[in-house]
């Protein structure tokens, strides 16, 4: 029997009118039984997401010992929604209780999680569904990562025999018994966890665009929609910045081969994008499936003659990085050169200097250079490995846009070429690649 898990994102929960639309979507299909919601997002450009207001509450609390000012903004967002929907739920009492718990718990994660909590309380009321708190069913282990098996069993037990339920996204319970959140955009992961637990036939991810687009619509106007993506392509694109879906949301559904469908809450009849296991993927005929990218990386360029024949060279460099607990994004290498690409956010001056000193001492390079303000752009597609001349087309398009490539990495997966360019060239580079392959 068909069983769907639906996750509604921030814009889909932004005000009472959209929430009323969600009710129509859920009521239109009996298979849509389990619903995961985000905190209310922006109602218009320039508006502030509830999650951001809540992080503001935490800051105020740290500074002044209370968060009355910022919480009043959260309060009025939810009171407006309750009024628009004419809820019988006593919103004032729920908000008072929430404020009280915030003052007791006082952690950033707990405070940030309240957007989803309140959103789910409202959605459960509107949809006539059972509210199940994520604290009871999503668990993290001692290292802070998800405890997948415990979570899976708990969701199964909580939903067994339940006709319709709403769960808040974005958070669960840490092994210290306190609320803990995923990284930003993490409600997509919560939805995927529920889909896996109930062995859904489809994980519907309802957002504010009609599918996964070939590149960021904030850079290229109305990019083409991708009809079908493989899990692998999705992972590459979302990890590299296509934030329509959290990059970790495929892991739970991949375990159970559950397809994901991206749908538009504001245009529910649009077809959207289907994301399927790589084994079920049918080549679209396009060489490139999509383009995504992120700004603000630092490249550490290392050169030493005969580096390749020096046994242990790479290990020594990487152990310096490991000792400093730094995540490395890419390690492109040549005969006598290697580069380390690291997110600039992870590198303050102290860590950068410690890293440079550490590398100099352990491998005595001929040259070590720091290049910062680098943006990474990934061009992704299964079609790339089978068509000749893809890299040539890519580099020609970038060169013709008068953009200098600072770094290059072709992943071993053969479905991904990453270029590093100056931050300032980021948007133009994406436009140039898009025009070459989709124009
Ligand atoms: P939600 O609140 O529903 O989780 P998000 O804001 O997280 O929604 O993700 C949807 C947004 O992702 C879109 O509004 C769009 O601006 C942005 N986006 C970035 N890259 C892409 C892409 N390749 N395709 C579609 N949307 C994209
Ligand atoms: N509300 C959280 C955020 O803004 C989680 C989510 O929307 O998925 O990041
Ligand atoms: Mg999102």
pLDDT at 412: 67
Helix, strand, coil percentages for the chain (3-state, nearest 5) = 45, 20, 35
Cβ density class 346-367: b for 16+ within 10 Å, e for less: bbeeeebeebbebbeeebebee
Please identify, among 280, 308, 328, the residue that sits at the C-terminal boundary of a domain.
280
Q: Are residues 349 and 255 in the same domain?
A: no
Q: Are residues 237 and 328 in the same domain?
A: no
pLDDT at 344: 96
Q: Are residues 227 and 326 in the same domain?
A: no
Total number of domains in the chain? 2
- Tell which atom from ligand 2 comes closest to the C-alpha of 190: 8
Question: CA-CA distance, 102 to 33, in Å (whole number)?
Answer: 31
Q: Are residues 306 and 162 in the same domain?
A: no
Token pair belonging to 417: 């070429």
CATH number for the domain spanning 356: value is 3.30.2130.10
Q: Are residues 93 and 198 in the same domain?
A: yes
Q: Are residues 302 and 230 in the same domain?
A: no
Dist. CA 303 → ligand 2 center (Å)? 42
Q: Are residues 276 and 296 in the same domain?
A: no
CA atoms within 13 A on the CB side of 167: 32
296 part of a folded domain: yes
Dist. CA 14 → ligand 2 center (Å)? 12
Q: Are residues 303 and 229 in the same domain?
A: no
DSSP 61: H
Which domain, by its residues, includes 361? 290-438
CATH number for the domain spanning 165: value is 3.40.1160.10
Q: Whose CA is nearest to atom 26 of ligand 1?
A: 244
Spell out which residues line ligand 2, taking CB within 6 angstroms: 10, 38-39, 49, 51, 115, 169-170, 184-187
Question: CA-CA distance, 157 to 159, in Å (whole number)?
Answer: 6
Minimal CA–CA distance to 344: which of 324, 371, 367, 316? 371
In a structure prediction context, what are the per-residue pLDDT tens digits for the chain, which is 439 residues long? 799 999 999 999 999 999 999 999 999 999 999 999 999 999 999 999 999 999 999 999 999 999 999 999 999 999 999 999 999 889 999 999 999 999 999 999 999 999 999 999 999 999 999 999 999 999 999 999 999 999 999 999 999 999 999 999 999 999 999 999 999 999 999 999 999 999 999 999 999 999 999 999 999 999 999 999 999 999 999 999 998 999 999 999 999 999 999 999 999 999 999 999 988 888 777 899 999 999 999 999 999 999 888 889 999 999 999 999 999 988 988 889 999 999 999 999 999 999 999 999 999 999 999 999 999 999 999 988 878 889 999 999 999 999 999 998 877 678 999 999 999 999 999 999 999 999 8
Please identify, among 280, 304, 322, the residue that sits at the C-terminal boundary of a domain.
280
pLDDT at 338: 93
Dist. CA 332 → ligand 1 center (Å)? 29
pTM of the full predicted structure?
Answer: 0.93
182 part of a folded domain: yes
Q: Are residues 336 and 193 in the same domain?
A: no
Token pair belonging to 380: 């992704």
Dist. CA 115 → ligand 3 center (Å)? 14
285 part of a folded domain: no
pLDDT at 35: 98
Please identify, among 256, 280, 304, the residue that sits at the C-terminal boundary of a domain.
280
pLDDT at 130: 98
Give the end-to-end CA distance of the chain in Å, rounded to a whole number: 42
Minimal CA–CA distance to 138: which of 163, 120, 161, 124? 120
Q: Are residues 295 and 275 in the same domain?
A: no
- Tell which atom from ligand 2 comes closest to the C-alpha of 186: 8
Token pair belonging to 224: 């083409």
172 part of a folded domain: yes
């Amino acid at each position: 029997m068909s069983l769907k898990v639906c996750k509604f994102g921030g814009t889909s929960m932004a005000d009472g009118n959209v929430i009323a639309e969600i009710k129509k979507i859920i009521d239109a299909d009996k298979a849509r039984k389990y619903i995961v919601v985000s905190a209310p997002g922006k109602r218009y450009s320039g508006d502030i997401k509830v999650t951001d207001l809540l992080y503001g509450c935490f800051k105020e609390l740290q500074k002044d010992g209370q968060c009355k000012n910022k919480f009043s903004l959260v309060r009025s967002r939810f009171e407006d929604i309750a009024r628009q929907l004419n809820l019988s739920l006593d919103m004032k009492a729920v908000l008072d209780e929430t404020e009280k718990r915030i003052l007791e718990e006082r952690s950033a994660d707990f405070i940030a999680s309240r957007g989803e909590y309140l959103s789910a309380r409202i959605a459960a009321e509107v949809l006539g569904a059972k509210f199940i708190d994520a604290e009871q069913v999503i668990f993290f282990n001692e290292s802070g990562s998800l405890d997948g098996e415990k979570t899976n069993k708990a969701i199964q037990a909580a939903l067994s025999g339940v006709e319709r339920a709403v769960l808040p996204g974005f958070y669960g319970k840490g092994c210290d018994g306190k609320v803990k959140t995923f990284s930003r955009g993490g409600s997509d992961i919560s939805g995927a966890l529920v889909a896996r637990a109930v062995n859904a036939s489809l994980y519907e991810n309802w957002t504010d665009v009609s599918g996964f687009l070939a590149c960021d619509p904030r850079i290229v106007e109305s990019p083409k929609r991708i009809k079908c993506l493989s899990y692998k392509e999705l992972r590459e694109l979302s990890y590299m910045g296509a934030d329509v879906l959290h990059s970790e949301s495929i892991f739970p559904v991949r375990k159970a081969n559950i397809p994901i469908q991206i749908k538009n809450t504001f245009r529910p009849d649009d077809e959207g994008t289907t994301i399927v296991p790589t084994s079920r993927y049918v080549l679209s005929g396009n060489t490139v499936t999509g383009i995504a990218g992120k700004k603000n990386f630092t490249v550490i360029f290392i050169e030493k003659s005969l580096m390749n024949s020096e046994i242990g060279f790479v290990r020594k460099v990487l152990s310096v990085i490991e000792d400093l607990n730094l995540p490395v994004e890419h390690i492109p290498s040549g005969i006598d050169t290697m580069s380390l690409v690291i997110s600039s956010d992870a590198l303050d001056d102290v860590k950068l200097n410690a890293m440079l000193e550490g590398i100099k001492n352990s491998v005595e390079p001929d040259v070590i250079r720091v290049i910062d303000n680098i943006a990474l752009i990934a061009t992704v597609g299964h079609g790339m490995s089978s068509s000749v001349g893809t890299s040539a087309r890519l580099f020609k398009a970038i060169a013709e846009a008068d953009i200098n490539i600072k770094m290059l990495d072709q992943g071993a997966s053969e479905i991904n070429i990453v270029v590093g360019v100056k931050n300032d060239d980021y948007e133009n580079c994406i436009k140039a690649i898009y025009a070459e392959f989709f124009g």
